[in-house]
Chain A
Amino acid sequence: MITQGIVIAFLGSAVAIGLACSGSGIGVGIAGAAGIGVLTEEPEKFGLVLFLQAFPGTQGIYGLLVGFWVLMKTGILGGSPIPVTLDQGMQIFFACIPVGIVGFFSGWYQGKTAAAAIGLAARNPEGLGKAIVMVTMVETYAVFSLLASLLLFNGISL
């Protein structure tokens, strides 16, 4: 049965996936552009560059994760949605907001950091370990937002 709550839950899922994946898209794009610059000079660094480029991709996965969890828990993915009240739907929507918004911005900015790390890895491979830590610092907040979304979602009694 499609209730108003389900519609709002849809919105939540869309926000989580849409925003977080956009952030990842921007981030991976920025890092990729820097990576191609390095590859024109040193094509043998492809593996390394790809590895660093993949960093801002995780936000999209976190968003996808929360979005799918919403779809699973509300039974939409199985084809038989459970009756979600308007209040519950709103709760689901709010639970999706952290991973969506933080995913968007942290993906974007992690892309910039990853681009810088790619530049460093090209010039000075020994610095790679430290560069990875810098990139992971941005990731922390994406993980926290995922955590927040999951915990908020866990608090909803469906």
Chain B
Amino acid sequence: MAVSKVKKANFFTHICLKEELIKELQKVGCIQIKDITSKIEKSYLSQHKTSKDWDITSTLSEVKYCIDYFSHFKDHLKKSDKYTEIVKKQYNIHDLKLLFDEYEYKKTYDECKSLDAILKDIKNQENYLSNLLEYLSEWKDINIKMEDMKNSERSAVIVGTVELKQLAQCISEIDQLGKEIAIVKISENKKYCKLAIVILHEFYDKIRKTLNKFNFNYFKIPVEYSGSVRQIIKKITKEIKDLETKKNEIKDKSLKIYEENYFIYVIFDYLSILKSREDAERFIKQTEHVVIIEGWVLEKDQEKIKNALGKKFKELEIIFSHPKKNEDIPVALKNNNFVEPFESVTELYGIPQYHEFDPTPLFSPFYFIFFGMCLSDAGYGLIITILSFIALKKIKLEGMAKKFFGLFFLGGISTFFIGALMGSWMGDAVNYFPESMNGIRTFLLDKVTMLNPIENPMPLLIISLILGVIQIYTGFIIKFIANLKNNKLVEGLMDQGSWMLFISGILFFIITSVIPMFAGVKALSNYVIYLGLIAIILTQGRGNRGIVLKIAGGVISLYDTIGYFSDILSYSRLFALGLSTAVLAVVVNNFVMLFKDVPFLGIVIAALVFIIGHVFNMAISGMGAFIHSTRLQYVEFFTKFYEGGGSGFKPFKSNTKYIDVTMD
């Protein structure tokens, strides 16, 4: 039961201490402030009104705008020493205030905004021009100048394409319209023919009608240009180039602003802290003189809060109380070091509700073994363990990311041991050791290895299924215990007991049929099955009305047997995935040996194939191990007893993205 106990805390203080108190609550950082504005409706209670003469939210969004703008040039942003000096540093909250007052973020914002507008404009132009360019390149062969195409006083020029098979008819129909029409074929390809038609104005409407009939595709004259199409293309190409230069200028300017404004990241964090304070203030209620803050705290933090706040404020009353059952109580998980990384799997599914129990300790041992069985290669296990260990030590990780690396660290250890038991070290790489290392080879393959799934796969399959049976039984037992705790012993016996009896009987029957040693007690298994069967039929339909429906419901529920056995069969994936890692690794090694004998470059190619092949296999199989171990918990295990759907405990504290802040 590793759901932390939560208590409700009410804080009452004088209104003039409001801001100080909120600051202090943020500093302590272990209280989740509750929104009570909608709950208590009394005429003398009012909501907090902001007294600030400036709007934090809009300032923050402007600062964020600048940061987002800089991130457009992500590839060019160099983290110089100056950046490290300014951003990777611890700040005191009071110094931050001074910094913020001095710093003219508005200037940066305006600069960024105008540059951004220009950049967007350039991009639009670029788009327009490149589209035009693409269009015109299809009309390269028109030698008529644009200004000639524009209608003159008496004549007009129409340019466009018509389908080849309609060409002859189209021309003949136009010819019939009048003699003062000149048709020039410009070019043709397999499907279309380009035509230029010179006409007198009085024919214009008529000719358009005819042309429309033949689906004539008019050439759109780019009105802003003059000269021939080829000349225009040249011109546009140059314009695009000019835009490119302009873009680069803007980029250089932006980078210069970026380098001068590393403080913007500091300010961003400072404003985020202020913003979270303001958000907290919105949740509280007040009378004319008294502020009321309500929140959740973990039971273990109770004393800490009392001490920290009691010392600072004399005029403060804190009342801790037990939460009521129907309240939406936030949930924090607390587990030991081994189990904690597995919380990430629970969180991905949905953390437990407050009155539920935490399933994490219950599935962690299974997860640990399953991951190892799916990846099952000692070499890969070692690599994953070392890499995630380095990541955990070197990178500052928090929350979910930290747990995931912890998960891979433990999974790597498990993989190492299970891989060693199956004699897989980067596949069968051990076999290719030189003669002088025979000692190691014999030790690894003959002493450590218990079973080799490539040579004899059946034992591993059976182990996988046995693990499945164990986990399903565990699920039943957990639900049974949960029923006991809720004083539902009878329900537990009827729901879980009957099924366990029945399934045990069937398994017993299978064992006695397969293993000759137990054949003597085979008859006994029949009795267990019958007993279970009767128990299920009698109890599982009890929700229905009338004796007939009750029995019928019981019989129908026997159908669930298929579900339980398909659950158990589902664990065969452990075997299939483990074997697939091993076989792929062997295949990689086979390829390495093929390339080894290539003259000169052989060793290099072989080494490359070895590295790339194994990294690929490790990544794909590692992903498979994570996903399938997770799925076995979610679909096969959790469905037996777990609900989830609680909301996480999110204490009110200073969350910073770039800098460290001390609140003293």
Contact residues of A with B, CB < 8 Å?
51, 54-55, 57-58, 61-62, 64-65, 68-69, 72, 77-78, 128-130, 132-133, 136-137, 139-140, 143-144, 146-147, 150-151, 154
Contacts and interface: CB of A to CB of B under 8 A. Distances in A.
A143 B349 contact: no
Given A129-B348, A147-B575, A136 B628 contact: yes
Contact of B627 (A57, A78, A132): A132
Nearest to B632: A136
A128 B580 contact: no
A130 to B, nearest CB: 7
A72 B454 CA distance: 12
A53 B629 CA distance: 19
Contacts of B624: 58
Contacts of B631: 132-133, 136, 140
Contacts of B461: 147, 151
B630 interface: yes
12 contacts: A58-B620, A61-B620, A65-B584, A68-B587, A69-B583, A72-B586, A129-B347, A132-B630, A133-B635, A144-B569, A147-B461, A147-B576
B587 to A, nearest CB: 5
B577 A143 contact: yes
B580 A65 contact: yes
A59 B631 CA distance: 17
Contacts of B573: 140, 143-144, 147
Nearest to B616: A61
B572 A144 contact: yes
B302 interface: no
B350 interface: yes
Among all A-B residue pairs, the 5 with the closest Cβ atoms: A129-B348, A136-B631, A143-B573, A147-B576, A68-B587
Contacts of B580: 61-62, 65, 146
- Size bracket of the B interface: 20 to 34
A51 B627 CA distance: 11
A77 B458 CA distance: 25
Contacts, number: 75
Residue with the highest number of chain B CB atoms closer than 10 Å, among A78, A137, A150, A154: A150
B479 to A, nearest CB: 20
Given A72-B586, A132-B630, A150 B620 contact: no
Contacts of A147: 461, 572-573, 575-576
Contact of A129 (B350, B570, B583, B584): B350
Interface string B577-600: 101100110110010000000000
A150 B635 CA distance: 25
Contact of A72 (B350, B579, B590): B590
B12 interface: no
Interface string B332-348: 00000000000000011
Contacts of A68: 583-584, 587
Given A54-B623, A65-B584, A136-B628, A128 B576 contact: no
A89 to B, nearest CB: 21
B457 interface: yes
Given A133-B634, A136-B628, A72 B576 contact: no
A154 B461 CA distance: 12
Nearest to A136: B631
Contacts of B575: 147
Residue with the highest number of chain A CB atoms closer than 10 Å, among B348, B580, B630: B580
Interface string B603-632: 000000000000000001001100110110
Contacts of B577: 143
Given A146-B576, A154-B458, A77 B590 contact: yes
Contacts of A140: 570, 573, 631
Contacts of A61: 580, 584, 620
A68 B573 CA distance: 20
A68 B627 CA distance: 24
Contacts of B350: 129-130
A130 B587 CA distance: 34
A146 B572 CA distance: 11
